[in-house]
Amino acid sequence: MTATVRLARREDGPELYHAWQALRQHYAATDPRIVPTPVSEGEFVAGLREMFARQTSVTFVAEDGGQLVGFISGSIEPNQPDRLPELHATVGYIYVEPEYRRTGLGRQLFQAVADWANRQEGISHFEMAVLASDDQAAAFWRTIGFSPFIQRLWAPLGDAGDEP
């Protein structure tokens, strides 16, 4: 298995869609509060084209023998208005096919986004969300150098004293 990482292209849309769907299924299985909205392949590909047009976002794919085996998306986002610096990099999605995990491919994908982010003006750090119940994902990000920063909490609407 020798996967290579490159910038995503429009023609990657259908394969990216299927990998993205697998990732969304993983999220839903990890936490039942995650309920993916239905998105058709056509809608996904159209959104991908819009994302490719933005200079503040990027997607890389990993392929082996012409087959997509992973991807990562990154972007530049504003910080809260009361916090400097004004912008940070973030990872939107990362997915590696199960048989390619623990091979260093996730690190390669992240490095591609990190190299891209390093070339963006005013960017000094990453911030991103990880499902609290996804211990494997959190462990992966810690090995790359991420550490907890802001904890995002969740509660259903209801009576003020109800337990979540």
Whether residue 85 has a cis bond before it, omega within 30° of 0: yes
Domains parsed from the chain with CATH numbers: 4-144 (3.40.630.30)
Residue 162 tokens, joined: 């109800």
Q: What is the pLDDT along the chain (164 residues), one digit of tens a residue?
A: 689 999 999 999 999 999 999 999 999 999 999 999 999 999 999 999 999 999 999 999 999 999 999 999 999 999 999 999 999 999 999 999 999 999 999 999 999 999 999 999 999 999 999 999 999 999 999 999 999 999 989 999 986 655 55
Kindly tell me the burial class for residue 91, based on how many C-beta atoms sit within 10 Å of its own C-beta (0-12, 13-18, 19 or more): buried
Q: Which amino acid is at 126?
A: F
Angle between helices 105-118 and 135-144 (to 10 degrees): 50
Residue 108 tokens, joined: 């390669």
pTM: 0.91
Rama region for 74: left / alpha / beta (φ>0; ψ in -120 to 50; rest)? beta
109: nearest Cα among 75, 139, 70: 70
The length of the chain is 164
